[in-house]
Chain A
Amino acid sequence: MGFRDIIAAEFRFTYADVFRRKITLVTFIAYPYILTILVLLIGYSLGSPTVFRERVGIDPMVFFILAGFTIMAIIGVGDDLLWRPLFDEWMGTLPYVMASPVPRIQHYIAIPLPRLILVLISGSTSIVPVLTYYYGLQGLVEGLLVMLLTGIAALFFTTIAILIMGIVYSLGGENWRIINIIRPLFLILVGAYYPRYLMPLTGQVISWLIPSSHVVEVIHRMISGLYSSPVDLLVLLGIATALFILYAPPGVKSIMYWEKTKMREGVRV
């Protein structure tokens, strides 16, 4: 059984869903802009862009387009993984997925890839033109780098999302609703909207445990020039990689445990 075939199957599944629901596609492209407009409308009524620039080091317009794009990629991966078991249960496909001999970890890694690639491509309609407009040729290069780093940040979110997915669904019953609480917390703690160094200490500690947050910090530092040497950024990427790997074994165990729990109570048909 090829991992390639599983990925191909997931691509087919996601693209059929996205392209047959045009609103999803439109949302992909429009989301960073809609979010930026909303945030700036509120932000400009409360404070000045100059103060924002002084505190964060980036133009608010660039920052929020960046944040919208990054969040969409990271949370998209989280959503695909966290909601999939529930979706499969609603569709009645869960028994057939569970009764298939597919290696579970391969399947769950493949699940978020298609949407992630689509989101990354949509960066060419948001982050790349905006950075190019603001910073010229350097902005274009940075835009492409941001797309790459966002891809890494999102991929690094898979193992922690799998771990949470396994734990939440193992609790059984209606406990999947916890995802509704976890999701917005990640939205903040990943640090895309709210840079980590501005968070209170508790927030910083929790944020530090999320692999993607370190990659997001790399993106922020790179755009705002807040680093003394590239080694600073590589250290952050190293921490992110280590955390990503660290969450993999308990992630696999949590899926297995969830599956056992499901088999104990019986997969709903």
Chain B
Amino acid sequence: MGVAIEARNLWKTYHTKKRKGLFRSETETVEALRGISFTIRHGEVVGLLGPNGAGKTTTVKILATLLLPDKGEAYIEGYDVVKEAMEVRKRIGLLLTVEKGFYGKLTGRENLEYFGALYGLGGERLRERINYLMRLLELDKLGATDKLFEEYSLGMKARLGLARALLKDPPVLLLDEPTLGLDPPSARKIRRLVRDLARQGKAILYTTHNMFEAEIVCDRILLINKGVIVVEGSPQELKARLPKLRSIDILLRNGSPEAVKKAIVEAGFQPTVETTPEGLVQVRVSVRSPEDVLGDLVRVLVGRGYDIVSLRISEPTLEDVFIYFSQSGG
């Protein structure tokens, strides 16, 4: 599969004027992107994951020809997003925020007809495409087809937004937090659809805050923080790159947290020990390879007369990855 989206060393700084008194103003500068580069192939869903203000939406806007980068280049199917914006616009489907972006006094169908005309579709072809998308996104089942947009629920709005993004059946989709604030069935529907679209060969850039979602939807994740991609890889690869985030969690029935901690530290481990609301002692030891040290740890605790209630080995979540790399800066 060929490269569909390519970003090369993108930089963007925002300058905003802040008024200070009647005549004075100060310019505030925010570096939104600091040289990010990545590629996305056809058939691939790539998640852009990062905290607020990390540069996710800025990246999407540049690729959607809605924002000019200060430096660097970006291409959609080989077309330059700055110099060949019209060609790029023919090839992208865009979803920015789910709660806005349609005309309230038009029905869902009328809105799609309106944007279809702007996208160069018309006549029977457009009508058939709208009917197909209404069925695909189950907007017909929800009775949303001929309902005014202003009467839509958030879930319906998100589905309609995705329908618009798919209207011209584009090879590239730019989806900015498409499930934000949605009810679980709608979110699940959209996630499944995104996976299906990737199987059909579409290249999809998917921004999200939701770690669980990124893990199940994305083939690859770009972790972005303060305008820089701090780490990149499949969800499994990223988790494997954490040095010590697999952990052994043990619950003890007896003993004081201080005494338990002292015993474990003496055995050469660095635990966190807490008391649960039920009065049990919870021990967590983070290590690279829990299987290698589990026996030693259990022996220490049993030898000191502690009564083990439960024991489990936890894998790191993508959230752990996110926090680790965001804080360490890569």
Contact = CB atoms under 8 A, between A and B. Distances in A.
Interface residues of B, number: 40
A62 B85 CA distance: 52
A13 B106 contact: yes
Given A101-B120, A102-B120, A107-B118, A12 B113 contact: yes
Interface string A98-120: 11111000010000000000000
Interface stretch (B3-11, B42-50, B90-98, B243-251): B90-98
Interface residues of A, number: 32
Nearest to B89: A101
B325 to A, nearest CB: 26
Interface in A226-246: none
Nearest to B121: A5
B103 A13 contact: yes
Nearest to B87: A101
Given A8-B117, A9-B113, A12-B110, A98 B103 contact: no
A4 B117 CA distance: 9
Interface string B214-254: 00000000000000000000000000000000000000000
Contacts of A97: 118
Residue among B118, B123, B176 with most chain A CB within 10 A: B118
Interface string A177-201: 0000000000000000000000000
A2 interface: yes
Contacts of A42: none
B114 interface: yes
B265 interface: no
B67 A267 contact: yes
A263 B110 contact: no
A1 B122 CA distance: 8
A98 B96 CA distance: 13
Interface in A6-23: 6, 8-9, 12-13, 16-17, 20-21
B194 to A, nearest CB: 19
A264 B64 CA distance: 13
Interface stretch (A87-95, A203-211, A215-223): A87-95
Contacts, number: 108
B110 A98 contact: no
B164 A266 contact: no
A269 interface: yes
Say whether chain A's binding surface is mostly helix, strand, loop, or mixed.
helix
A83 interface: no
A16 B110 contact: yes
B119 interface: yes
B317 interface: no
B122 A91 contact: no
B66 A98 contact: yes
Residue among A17, A21, A266 with most chain B CB within 10 A: A266
Contacts of B105: 16-17, 20-21
Contacts of A16: 103, 105-107, 110
A6 B118 contact: yes
A96 interface: yes
Contacts of B66: 95, 98-99, 263, 266-267
B118 A91 contact: no
Nearest to A101: B89
Contacts of A21: 105
Contacts of B119: 100-102
B68 interface: yes
Contacts of A267: 61, 66-67
B118 A9 contact: yes
A158 B185 CA distance: 47
Contacts of B61: 95, 266-267, 269
A269 B57 contact: yes
Given A95-B64, A95-B66, A99-B64, A269 B164 contact: no
B48 to A, nearest CB: 15
Given A95-B66, A100-B89, 14 more contacts: A5-B121, A16-B103, A16-B107, A21-B105, A91-B102, A92-B99, A92-B101, A95-B96, A99-B64, A101-B86, A107-B118, A260-B68, A269-B96, A269-B176
Interface of A: 1-2, 4-6, 8-9, 12-13, 16-17, 20-21, 91-93, 95-102, 107, 260, 263-267, 269
